[in-house]
């Protein structure tokens, strides 16, 4: 193409979308938009939605806007294109091809075409062997392609100028059909997405003695499709030829790939495009050319002898009026949307080979001359193509004469920066209108920092959700990908869904963190951190991601006695140390203390101030005091003046919430306990306790026995304390919801309570 942009004036009005046979649109037409592969889905409110179809429709609208504004980002360049078709009648004689392929190039090649496409028919005999076996077709196609290449690049035609040399882009053959496409060397780098296809419509509809071959490509930013076909023979078989065209047109397709589709969108290269597919058909190109031996004859209403006579004289007007292709096209039965130049040359068939005489030899069947060999075109923008020459050559080796058509075409060259600017404007316009119909909400914050949180203390932070759009907003919290819960187990949210009408008061979502025993243990062992992301989904709208974080103030609650006895300092002052953590969980952790210091402190405080208190260990404490006592245990601060019942609640809570109970279930007695075996079972139980657990157990039994000395005032009994021991020493809080207990396990638990009672009533420890 010339290097100067062309001032392109478009034809008035919208261009007609090309249709295939029977009004069918091309293979990738908009009809495919409604044929979504995804099924419709019913929404919660009863509406039907197909997300895939909606996406395709949206993309098609964007594409339509880009195409309508393509002049704003496109430079238009002039180029020449040559199309030559010839039924060579299986002849291979070396006849010079210059007068056919290179006629009128000018002395210095100034009018040489930029694109050359040559279509041959019957390059081999269409016998059963050649139709079934590919070898001879391949040989003959190579022979003809080389002859064409040498002709185009001969010294006479190119002057040894490399800028005038032609390079082969693609060839496609099918039995007797051959299509080869050449481009001038300087344009090679601006050609991409070259694809080819073939459709056989001969024997059994597939053998290829008749049919079509096709090549499509992108030249600069214009898409071009070229088809060469050989349609059904015989003067009376108009319906067969129409059917062959329809078959080839509907079946010819090219999977151009995702990158080519992106280029289509960028340049607006198709009048219609089925978004979501990378397959295009013949009509889905800026320019489509169709040539070949189409085999349309002069209507049988004119006798054969008269057709011969008029053809010899060059009196063509009556013959053109009775040309079958012209008649069928005018009736809309074939080549819908295609154009053809005026027939100014004599019919190209049927000649006596080697002469310029129509075949009239007595030993040959007399056939009416006809314009079998034709070139037609289809342009999305009619002003983008001009027919310069439509003529025939006088080569004589075949019973057909070659035909050639030369065009001046307007080629698009997209300016990327300008196209991006147009795309941005289109997307902003779309966003503007979509946002008006989509629900929108505003969150007063999308990050929740709870700061320092403590064991068994609920902390709540709110988020306010406001409807900022013009339609009803329905929202809900949803799990993250591959998860089933809305958030981690240490946090809850309420409510988890809601609906706001425009102008309604904001909704409040409360997020609450609670550190229970299991979470505390996971935090203390480094298996958990207080970080999470919660997703708030707006129905028919976007997702909002709410980040959550907090810092855990370490507590002795939820830890194990193995860990606690290794720390001489308050647990709040001890950072989580993975190395030390591993040591304390090893097979032989080093104990600095006989019992945890926290246990000693609380027992000592109760011993000093409250063993005589009525209903000791059975009356709950004051919540605020319980919290303050826990803080004192964790920080090492001295106890204040607290009620004794608050102290005893903390003691029982501490023991119940150890990460592992002092007495594991594996030590439950397996025999029924009675007076005869109570001594042996109790002794066996003590022997099986781990050393640190043994220390804590003995320490607590001794303390509870001391409390029984004040039973007159505190109203305790050994049986009551035995039940309390089972609740806090035998089964920790992490085992309060065990798998359904069987009758046997209940009996074993009762046996454990009898052992506790035995230790409380005797001096057997």
Domain segments of the chain as ranges? 50-73+415-437, 74-414, 441-542, 561-761
What are the backbone dihedrals phi and psi of residue 73, each rounded to the nearest 5 degrees, phi first? Answer: -130, 15
Measure the CA–CA gap between 747 and 153, rounded to whole angstroms: 104
| Maximum Cα interatomic distance, the chain, rounded to a whole number of Å | 144
pTM for this model (two decimals): 0.59
pLDDT for the residue 755: 82
Measure the CA–CA gap between 408 and 70, rounded to whole angstroms: 21
Give the pairing of strands 191-200 and 211-219: antiparallel
**Residue written as token pair 């039994």:** 701
Alpha helices for 76-170 (secondary structure H): 98-101, 128-132, 135-152, 155-158
- Classified as helix, coil or strand, 519 is helix
591, exposed or middle or buried, with CB in 10 Å at 0-12, 13-18, 19+? Answer: middle
Same fold, 441-542 and 561-761: no
Measure the CA–CA gap between 504 and 494, rounded to whole angstroms: 19
CB 233 within 8 A of CB 325: no
CB 556 within 8 A of CB 634: yes
pLDDT for the residue 316: 97
**Residue written as token pair 């997020």:** 511
CA quadruple 683, 687, 692, 695: dihedral, nearest 10: 30
Distant-in-sequence, close-in-space partners of 684: CB < 8 Å, separation ≥ 6: none
pLDDT for the residue 309: 97
What is 458-515 written as a DSSP string?
-EEEEEEEEE-SSS-EEEEEEPPTT--SSS-TTEEEE-SEEEE-TTPPPEEEEEEE-B
pLDDT for the residue 126: 66
Q: Report the top-level CATH class of 561-761.
A: mainly alpha
Measure the CA–CA gap between 269 and 33, rounded to whole angstroms: 18
CB 85 within 8 A of CB 142: no
pLDDT for the residue 419: 92
Q: Report the top-level CATH class of 441-542.
A: mainly beta
Distances (CA, A) of 442 to 500, 542, 544: 11, 11, 10
What is the token pair recorded at 557? 């609650």
Q: What is the pLDDT of residues 651-680, one digit of tens each?
A: 999 998 888 888 888 877 766 777 677 788
Give the pairing of strands 339-340 and 253-255: unpaired
Superfamily the domain 74-414 falls into: Endonuclease/exonuclease/phosphatase (3.60.10.10)
Measure the CA–CA gap between 539 and 135, rounded to whole angstroms: 62
pLDDT for the residue 172: 97
Intervals of the chain under pLDDT 50: 2-36, 204-206, 271-275, 579-580, 582-589, 732-740
Distances (CA, A) of 506 to 77, 448, 478: 59, 18, 20
Measure the CA–CA gap between 541 and 473, rounded to whole angstroms: 9
- The one-character DSSP state at 438 is S
Residue 78: other Cβ atoms inside 10 A: 17
Measure the CA–CA gap between 63 and 75, rounded to whole angstroms: 19
pLDDT for the residue 134: 58
């Amino acid at each position: 193409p010339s290097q100067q942009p062309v001032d392109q004036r478009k034809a008035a009005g919208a261009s007609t979308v090309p249709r295939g046979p029977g009004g069918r649109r091309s293979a990738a037409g908009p009809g495919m938009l409604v044929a979504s592969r995804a099924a419709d889905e019913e929404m919660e409110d009863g509406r039907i939605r197909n997300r895939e179809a909606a996406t395709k429709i949206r993309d098609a609208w964007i594409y339509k806007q880009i195409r309508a504004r393509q002049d704003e980002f496109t430079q238009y360049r002039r180029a020449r294109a040559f199309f030559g078709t010839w039924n060579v009648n299986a002849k291979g004689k070396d006849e010079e091809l210059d007068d056919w392929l290179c006629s009128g190039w000018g002395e210095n090649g100034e009018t040489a075409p930029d694109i050359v496409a040559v279509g041959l028919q019957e390059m081999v005999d269409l016998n059963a062997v050649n139709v079934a076996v590919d070898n001879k077709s391949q040989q003959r196609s190579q022979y003809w392609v080389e002859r064409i290449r040498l002709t185009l690049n001969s010294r006479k035609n190119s002057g040894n100028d490399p800028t005038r040399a032609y390079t082969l882009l693609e060839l496609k053959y099918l039995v007797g059909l051959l299509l080869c496409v050449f481009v001038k060397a300087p344009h090679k780098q601006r050609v991409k997405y070259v694809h080819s296809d073939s459709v056989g419509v001969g024997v059994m509809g597939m053998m290829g003695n008749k049919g079509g071959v096709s090549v499509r490509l992108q030249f600069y930013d214009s898409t071009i499709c070229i088809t060469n076909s050989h349609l059904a023979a015989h003067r009376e078989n108009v319906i067969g030829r129409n059917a062959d065209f329809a078959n080839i047109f509907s079946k010819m397709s090219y999977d151009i790939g995702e990158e080519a589709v992106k280029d289509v969108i960028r340049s607006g290269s198709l009048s219609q495009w089925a978004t979501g597919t990378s397959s295009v058909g013949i009509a889905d190109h800026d320019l489509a050319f169709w040539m070949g031996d189409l085999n349309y004859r002069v209507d049988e209403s004119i006798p054969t002898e008269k057709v011969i006579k008029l053809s010899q004289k060059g009196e063509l007007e009556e013959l053109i009026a009775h040309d079958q292709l012209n008649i069928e096209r005018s009736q809309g039965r074939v080549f819908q949307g295609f154009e053809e130049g005026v027939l100014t040359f004599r019919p190209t068939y049927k000649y006596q080979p080697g002469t310029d005489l129509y075949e009239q030899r007595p030993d040959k069947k007399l056939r009416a001359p006809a314009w079998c060999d034709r070139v037609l075109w289809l342009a999305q923008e009619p002003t983008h193509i001009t027919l310069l020459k439509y003529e025939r050559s006088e080569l004589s080796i075949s019973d057909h004469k070659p035909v050639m058509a030369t065009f001046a075409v307007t080629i698009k060259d997209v300016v990327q920066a300008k196209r991006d600017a147009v795309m941005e404007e289109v997307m902003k316009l779309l966003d503007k209108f979509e946002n008006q119909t989509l629900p929108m909400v505003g969150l007063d914050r999308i990050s929740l920092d709870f700061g320092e949180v403590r064991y068994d203390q609920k902390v709540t932070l709110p988020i306010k959700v406001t409807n900022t759009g013009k339609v009803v907003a329905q929202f809900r919290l949803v799990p993250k990908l591959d998860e089933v819960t809305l958030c981690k187990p240490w946090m809850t949210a309420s409510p988890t869904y809601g609906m706001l009408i425009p102008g309604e008061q904001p909704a409040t979502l409360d997020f609450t963190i609670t550190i229970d025993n299991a979470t505390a243990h996971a935090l203390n062992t480094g298996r958990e951190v207080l970080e999470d992301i919660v997703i708030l989904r707006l129905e028919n709208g976007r997702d909002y991601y709410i980040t959550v974080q907090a810092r855990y103030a370490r507590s002795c609650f939820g830890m194990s006695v193995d860990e606690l006895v290794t720390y001489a300092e308050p647990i709040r002052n001890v950072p989580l140390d993975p190395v030390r953590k591993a040591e304390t969980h090893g097979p032989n952790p080093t104990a600095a203390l006989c019992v945890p210091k926290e246990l000693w402190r609380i027992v000592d405080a109760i011993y000093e101030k409250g063993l005589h208190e009525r209903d000791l260990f059975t009356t709950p404490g004051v919540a605020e005091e319980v919290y303050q006592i826990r803080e004192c245990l964790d920080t090492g601060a001295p106890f204040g003046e607290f009620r004794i019942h608050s102290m005893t609640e903390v003691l029982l809570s501490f023991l119940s919430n150890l990460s592992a109970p002092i007495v594991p279930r594996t030590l439950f007695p397996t025999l029924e306990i009675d007076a005869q075996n109570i001594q042996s079972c109790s002794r066996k139980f003590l022997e099986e306790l781990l050393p640190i657990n043994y220390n804590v157990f003995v320490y607590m039994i001794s303390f509870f026995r001391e409390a029984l000395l004040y039973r007159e005032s505190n109203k305790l009994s050994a049986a009551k304390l035995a039940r309390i021991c089972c609740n806090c020493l035998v089964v920790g809080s992490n085992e309060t919801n065990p798998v359904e207990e069987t009758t046997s396990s209940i009996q074993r638990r009762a046996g454990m309570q009898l052992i506790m009672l035995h230790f409380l009533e005797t001096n057997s420890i």
